[in-house]
Structure 1
Amino acid sequence: MTDGLLNYELRADHIAILTMNRPEKMNALNAGLAGALVDGLRRFDADQDAWVGILTGTGKAFCAGADLENMRVGSADGGDWVGAIDHLQPLFEAIEGERKPLIAAVNGFCMGGGLGLAHSCSLIVAIESAKFGMPEAAVGVPNFSYFDLWKTVGYRRALEMSLTADPYPASHMLDIGFLNQVVPDAQLMQAALALAARIAKNAPLATAGAEQGMKFTLHNPREAWPAAARQIWKKVLASDDLREGLAAFEQRRKPTWGNS
């Protein structure tokens, strides 16, 4: 991907691994890495052989958030601070959009926009030594990437994280429902791959539809659900995978999915 900032690996088991590769900056989101992530997510979405994705980072951080140097330069002498983070909007639009299941494998620090990035993934696995937080208030900048975090961890817990700017251990984030699993540091990819394999054994169109359907309910009123459900599941209902799944059930055998 762009200048090696994101590595994309497709495994034979239909699992794609996207690895952020800016370790010298703790994978902070500058324009280059954000653009590489957008390209990588589009590639993942278009890759018919990739049914489940894993997003992780190199070095001691998953992602430290937005690049503060960009913000410092952008805000100097009355400059356009908001313009300095314009590159983040396409990234969050891409990761929040309709896509296949994507697991965040948090390998270290997960702060600020990095926490928002992980939260936008479908499921999250983290190492025991990982640290999480919303540190923006500690350096006097606003946080824009947590608008619906409270739906996952609760309003007061989300607000406490934002107001205190404190770091939190993985054990706390598991307790409040932010994480699916916490594993020993050396077992992160093993655990993430095992979770991805549990998803990839199922019909890929059905898992993608389940992801889209549940996400739709987070952001839209109840009365909009029936029409959306018909649209989301239209492709699945007309698919060879549905016919194969029903036939395999009747014949008591494992289905062979074709993603069509």
Structure 2
Amino acid sequence: MSKSITTQIENKVATLTLNRPEVFNSFNREMALLLQSELDACEKNTDVRAIVITGSGKAFCAGQDLKEVTSPELNPGFKKILDEHYNPIITRIRNIEKPIIGAINGVAAGAGANIALACDVVIASESASFIQAFSKIGLVPDSAGTFFLPRLIGFQKASALMMLGDKISALDAEKLGMVYKVVSSENFMEEVNGIANTLAKMPTKALGLTKRLLNNSLHNNLEEQLNMESKLQIEAAQSEDYAEGVDAFVNKRRPEFKGK
């Protein structure tokens, strides 16, 4: 039996692929816990400086496997699903101080859509789509959808998408500001790998501190954010990558950052 998450590390980029294509990469408990484990491994591995999350087959992720929640034997219950599956995944995506790319190769629905939106850089194939599918079955959005989507596209648009459950094409998602970039299906992984390789060669320490600043900007006031910028800028200025960046600039050469 194949693993529900496959991991490949190349050129300091870890690609985590949701691998249940027969059910459109919907999450069961095994896959949710394994994704957390793989993210933890990527965080600890100093040879990994960028992370890609994508899906196998035609879908990115269709959200929760409804067969699991309707099975008397398998159903872990919604509290366990949220507390032990999705909430820890979102927390890891936001707290790992390395760039995480959501490579959305196909439909992203329900929790799958919101996991995508939590990533640092979201790249969508032109064949991808996004749907807040919760209202279709009488549920509320989870996996931080009500946190990120209004901040990305505005309260009114987010409210309508969540209540109506409209499917949004990749191009419309780009226009709304849900995703960074849409690329052709033929060149999708080539484009994703190009961006991931670029990020993996950049000053990882500074990128991680930038991510921390962005996370805190969601609740800090202006004074608090300015103070945090000052504190983390001092920390960044003590890094080896800063010294390398300045030396490369002065000597008109390409910097070779080590992520330290």
Aligned equivalents of 2:180, 2:37: Cα separation in 1: 27
Residues 246, 171 of structure 1: CA spacing in aligned structure 2 closer, same or farther, 3 A cutoff?
same
Q: Which sections of structure 2, spanning at least 5 residues, go unmatched?
A: none
Match of 2:99 in 1: 101
Which runs of structure 2 are paired with 1:193-208 in the superposition (5 Å)? 193-208=193-208
* Contact 2:100/2:119 (8 A) holds in 1: yes
Aligned equivalents of 2:64, 2:42: Cα separation in 1: 23
> Once structures 1 and 2 are overlaid, which stretch shifts more, 168-177 or 234-243?
234-243
TM-score by length of 1: 0.90
Give the 3-state SS of the residue equivalent to 1:49 in structure 2.
coil
Aligned equivalents of 2:44, 2:223: Cα separation in 1: 31
Which runs of structure 2 are paired with 1:74-113 in the superposition (5 Å)? 80-86=77-83, 87-113=85-111
Match of 1:143 in 2: 141
* Contact 1:7/1:19 (8 A) holds in 2: yes
Give the 3-state SS of the residue equivalent to 2:70 in structure 1.
helix
> Number of paired residues?
255
Give the 3-state SS of the residue equivalent to 1:186 in structure 2.
coil
Letter in 1 for 2:223: E
User: How much does 1:85 deviate?
Assistant: 3.8
Match of 1:38 in 2: 36
Q: Percent identity?
A: 28
> Once structures 1 and 2 are overlaid, which stretch shifts more, 214-223 or 139-148?
214-223
Aligned equivalents of 2:233, 2:222: Cα separation in 1: 17
User: How much does 1:147 deviate?
Assistant: 2.0
* Contact 2:124/2:182 (8 A) holds in 1: yes
Residues 211, 80 of structure 1: CA spacing in aligned structure 2 closer, same or farther, 3 A cutoff?
closer
Letter in 2 for 1:45: E
Aligned equivalents of 2:29, 2:106: Cα separation in 1: 22
Match of 1:222 in 2: 222
Aligned equivalents of 1:258, 1:109: Cα separation in 2: 36
* Contact 2:201/2:258 (8 A) holds in 1: no
Q: Does 1:24 align with 2:22?
A: yes
Residues 43, 3 of structure 1: CA spacing in aligned structure 2 closer, same or farther, 3 A cutoff?
farther
- The C-alpha deviation readout for 1:168-203, integer Å capped at 9, x for no partner, is 111111110111111121211111112223323321
Letter in 1 for 2:184: P
User: How much does 1:3 deviate?
Assistant: 6.5
Aligned equivalents of 1:30, 1:234: Cα separation in 2: 43
> Once structures 1 and 2 are overlaid, which stretch shifts more, 158-167 or 228-237?
228-237
> Once structures 1 and 2 are overlaid, which stretch shifts more, 156-165 or 84-93?
84-93
> Once structures 1 and 2 are overlaid, which stretch shifts more, 95-104 or 80-89?
80-89
Give the 3-state SS of the residue equivalent to 1:185 in structure 2.
coil
- The C-alpha deviation readout for 1:122-155, integer Å capped at 9, x for no partner, is 1111111112101111111221231221110111
TM-score by length of 2: 0.90
Match of 2:176 in 1: 176
